[in-house]
Amino acid sequence: MDEKRAFEQLPITQGSDSGSRQPADDSNRRHHHSRRPLHFLTIATLILSLWAFYRATTSSSRRWQERPLIWGKPYPSHLKGVATTPNIKLDENTLVPFEAHIMSKCPDAKDCLELMVLPAMQRVHDKVNFTLSYIGRPTANDGVACKHGPEECLGNIIELCAQKLYPDPKTYLGFTMCMTKQYSHIPQRSLVEDCALEHALDFNELNNCATEDDGAVGMGAPTRA
């Protein structure tokens, strides 16, 4: 009797007949059917993602083709067609203002002149009104303080005098570039004499201009605070 009761308490899924396996089959079938919606949902999501990616890439490509390239970048849409508008009239005789602001003993001035100003002037010197200005800070006694010290102030005055006495940019810009290449030696007399001789400037005129009224004559040329 005890063995019979023990046997009757065993799980029905361990039986050997087909009736005892039926609940397990029903459970597997229900689990299989429940996974089908998940499969459909995954496939639908994948299709929608591919469609969105296709729309984005084709739209971007179309926008890129619609904009012409200038120096490797798309031309701004709000300026598209401005250059070819027949109503715009340009005066070819009007010179474009072109300014550079430097300090005579600043190492960055060498790169500015050598890498940017001179190459630009070689191309457009006849189309611009070029002005070379110097950076300084006005003082309470009507003087000017220079970032790299009093020697830089004197160097600025000498180069401003060259601009005042020889207004042709090809002349005074060449002299200034000669000085700037050895900016650490500004304002040594030997450097000024050598650069003046190289670019056909009168050293005595430069010297008189730089010393007259404590440099006030030279400072009459543009200076930036």
Domains of the chain by residue range: 22-84, 96-224
The model's pLDDT over 7-20, given as tens digits with 9 standing for 90+, comes to 344 443 444 444 44
* Helices of type H across the chain: 2-8, 18-66, 107-111, 118-124, 150-165, 169-180, 189-198, 203-211
Element spanning 117, H or E: none
The model's pLDDT over 130-188, given as tens digits with 9 standing for 90+, comes to 999 999 888 888 788 899 999 999 999 999 999 999 999 999 999 999 999 999 999 99
Cα separations (Å) of 22 from 15, 18, 26, 102? 11, 7, 6, 94
CATH 3.30.70.2190, applies to 96-224: no
Per DSSP bridges, beta strands 96-102 and 144-145 are unpaired
Q: Is 13 exposed, middle or buried (0-12, 13-18, 19+ CB in 10 A)?
A: exposed
Residue 205 CB partners (closer than 8 Å, separation 6+): 161, 165
